[in-house]
Amino acid sequence: MGLVSGLLLLPLAPVRGTVWIADHLLAEARRQYDDPRAVQARLAALNRALEAGDIDEAAFEREEEHLLTLLERRTGPRTTRDRRTRTQGRHV
């Protein structure tokens, strides 16, 4: 960047800095959201909510599928048999 373009773009520096910070915050939020430990904790909480009767079976299945998809995206694909084995015994 030359001197002239640097001077012309100087008023935009706060905007560029804000965008940079927002991009980094978004990246960190995505990293934490997709963290396998966090997803596993949410799966455990989901199981507890089902056992306590706080959610119905349909809501449980939808959220579980979403969480398992997040987990697979981070840890690699699993077979249907692996998924069934992991989720068996999750509720009575």
DSSP string of 51-90, one letter each residue? HHTSS-HHHHHHHHHHHHHHHHHHH----HHHHHHHHTTS
What's the burial of 25, exposed, middle or buried (CB within 10 Å: 0-12/13-18/19+)?
exposed
pLDDT tens, per residue, the chain with 92 residues = 678 887 788 888 888 889 999 999 999 998 888 788 989 999 999 999 999 999 999 999 999 999 999 888 877 665 544 554 455 555 54
Task: Report if pTM > 0.85.
Answer: no
Q: What is the pLDDT of residue 92?
A: 44
